[in-house]
Amino acid sequence: MIEVRNISKSFGEEQILKNISLTFERGKTNLIIGQSGSGKTVLLKSIVGIHEIDEGEIIFGGQVYSSMDRKEKQKIRQEIGMVFQGGALFDSYTVYENVIFPLRMFSGMSKKEMNKRVDFCLDRVNLQNVNDFYPSEISGGMQKRVAIARAIVLNPKYLFFDEPNSGLDPKTAIVIDNLIKEITVDFNTVTVINTHDMNSVAETGDNIAFIYNGQAWWTGNNKDILESENKELNEFVFATKLMRSIKK
Amino acid sequence: MEFFYHIGKYLVFLRKVFKRPQKRNIFIQNIFFEIEKLGINSVVIVFIISIFMGAVITLQTAYNIEVSFVPLYLVGLGTRDSMFLEFSSTIVALILAGKVGANIASEIGTMKIREQIEALDMMGVNSESYLVLPKIIASVFTFPLLTLFSMFVGIFGGYLAVYFTNAIPLDDFVYGIHYYFIPFYITYSLIKMAIFAFIIATVPAYQAYFIRGGALEVGKANTKAVVYSSILILFFNVIITQILLS
Ligand SMILES: Nc1ncnc2c1ncn2[C@@H]1O[C@H](COP(=O)(O)OP(=O)(O)O)[C@@H](O)[C@H]1O
Ligand SMILES: [Mg+2]
């Protein structure tokens, strides 16, 4: 479980996150939704410790992560897998080199064990015969899958995804959504996903937090969300014609 | 004020860069990779500018000696000392600031805006050290070798120029090259280049490390990287010369 308690974050004068409290459960897909620019990425990066928070606490599995020193944090970080919005694969490394990288840096495994693990992870995201390609030589959907393979290679307890569907066609987006759902159950991770894609919300939202005006404006699941009376949430959820037709 | 702010931030950055590498074999592998990218890939450009500059310095000196009582071997000596003292270190460093500096700034800048540096940090890699230290070691090690190479090629360029134009007798040129040779000039040039190499590896990396935004920002960091490292090279050229030659 991850608990976020009353966190705030400003950049200069501008307060992006205002007193946000949320709980993310293990084995579930926890969604953070909200408009572009609402602070989803800042929230995600604050939780994992890329941004330092101004106030509040972040608790990973009962340990107060936000007040740990560098060394202690490092330990938790090795249990976190993160998939950045663009994938953040290393351009100068091949697919294979990208996925094996965390193992080479941190695992202490033998070459053979590492290769086995890489094969397992690439297989898990349904990628075959792409080992020697560079990120620029494969499709956006494949890049996302490589990024997921890299994120799970050290067997993480926590998984974070920043807009895993952005830039993908609807069909590929569903493939990625399903993959994330399966991995969450398989690996029994606490999975936190940023998205503004209502399709993923309907498909994968075990727990949903709607961020509005820097606050956790509404929380619930993918059934509640269609029935909620919350005005701002409704404006977000039913922004498209398609969603409005579902409501009727 | 901003100047001092940047000095401070640069020093803090360097302290992180000089953190002990986490995985020795990966570190060594990265150094070889950078030696190839930054050093070996610069050999051709250093060759081209050095051979032409050696030729031009020789011809200009030769054609400017019109009064007969100036000994002709001064042409060779002039070419040698221009190359050894200034050209093969300072001018080559300025060229490398443009080529290698821009390369480092765009590589690191692109990694930054595409969240690859955050990805490294998240995995627990000390990204500053991982990315920049191999570049520093590769540059400080290979750029002085490029200086030696440039000296040799420059004199060869002068030799070819004399050979093909007969501007002065070839023997006089060769005599001038040997005349009153001061080995310390080479040491002086190599020391300068090692310091310039450090500037070329770290200043562009620093410029690129803190950008936010998109491709436009990478471009800006690129320009700043080249301008600032060039100014610093010229500035340190004066300082080191005063220290070593006075
Ligand atoms: N490192 C930063 N420094 C200053 N402002 C930032 C930084 N990162 C994000 N912001 C600002 O925070 C706001 C929220 O951004 P973001 O979290 O990326 O939104 P979202 O992911 O919901 O689209 C934006 O106004 C953005 O400009
Ligand atoms: Mg975002």
pLDDT on residue B99: 96
Instruction: Please determine, for residue A161, whether its predicted confidence score (pLDDT) is greater than 90.
Output: yes
Burial tier of B229 (Cβ tally within 10 Å: 0-12, 13-18, 19+): buried
Residues of A in contact with B119 (CB under 8 A): 82, 84, 88, 90
Closest by Cβ to B26, choosing from A85, A90, A104: A104
Query: Using 50, 70 and 90 to split pLDDT, how confident is the model at A145?
Result: very high
pLDDT on residue B245: 86
State whether A91 and B110 contact (CB < 8 Å): yes
Percentage, residues of chain A above pLDDT 70: 100
Residue B29 backbone dihedrals phi, psi, to 5 degrees: -60, -45
* Mean pLDDT of the region B99-128: 96
Residues of B in contact with A84 (CB under 8 A): 115, 118-119
Burial tier of A167 (Cβ tally within 10 Å: 0-12, 13-18, 19+): middle
pLDDT in tens, A182-203: 999 999 999 999 998 887 787 7
Instruction: Please determine, for residue B235, whether its predicted confidence score (pLDDT) is greater than 70.
Output: yes
Percentage, residues of chain A above pLDDT 90: 69
Instruction: Please determine, for residue A26, whether its predicted confidence score (pLDDT) is greater than 80.
Output: yes
Helices B73-82 and B170-178: angle between axes, nearest 10 degrees? 50
Instruction: Please determine, for residue B237, whether its predicted confidence score (pLDDT) is greater than 90.
Output: yes
**DSSP letter string, B159-184:** HHHHHHH-SS-HHHHHHHHHTT--TH
pLDDT on residue A204: 77
* Mean pLDDT of the region B225-241: 96
Average pLDDT, chain A: 91
Rg value, chain A, Cα: 18
Distance A40 CA to ligand 1 centre (A): 8
CB B125 within 8 A of CB B131: no
Instruction: Please determine, for residue A248, whether its predicted confidence score (pLDDT) is greater than 70.
Output: no
A80-89, A197-206, B39-48, B91-100: which has the minimum mean pLDDT? A197-206
Q: Which of B213, B207, B210, B237 is nearest to B225 (CA)?
A: B207
Q: Which of B154, B138, B141, B44 is nearest to B88 (CA)?
A: B154
- Which DSSP state fits B37? I
pLDDT on residue A226: 80
Cα separation, B188 vs B37, in Å, equals: 26
Query: Using 50, 70 and 90 to split pLDDT, how confident is the model at A245?
Result: confident
Average pLDDT, chain B: 94
Residues 6 or more apart whose CB falls under 8 angstroms from that of B193 comprise B88, B89, B92, B93, B143, B144, B146, B147
pLDDT on residue A222: 80
Tokens (6 digits) for B243: 């220290």
- Which DSSP state fits B20? P
pLDDT on residue A246: 75
Asked casually if ipTM beats, i.e. exceeds, 0.90, the reply is yes
Order of strands across the sheet that contains A80-83: A80-83, A158-162, A190-195, A29-33, A207-212, A215-220
Q: Which of A197, A179, A156 is nearest to A32 (CA)?
A: A197
CB A7 within 8 A of CB A14: no
The whole-model pTM stands at 0.92
Beta carbon of A42 within 6 Å of any ligand 1 atom: yes
pLDDT on residue A149: 95
CB A141 within 8 A of CB A176: yes
Q: Which of B153, B238, B149 is nearest to B196 (CA)?
A: B238
Residue A109 backbone dihedrals phi, psi, to 5 degrees: -75, 160
Tokens (6 digits) for A64: 């107060």
- The H-or-E segment that residue A115 falls in is helix A111-124
Residues of B in contact with A85 (CB under 8 A): 115
State whether B118 and A45 contact (CB < 8 Å): yes
pLDDT on residue A202: 76
How many C-beta atoms lie closer than 10 Å to residue A124's C-beta? 18
* Mean pLDDT of the region A38-57: 95
CB B113 within 8 A of CB B209: no
pLDDT in tens, B163-202: 999 888 999 999 999 998 899 999 999 999 999 999 999 9
Instruction: Please determine, for residue B68, whether its predicted confidence score (pLDDT) is greater than 80.
Output: no
pLDDT on residue B199: 98
Distance A11 CA to ligand 1 centre (A): 9
Identity of residue B229: S
Identity of residue A45: K
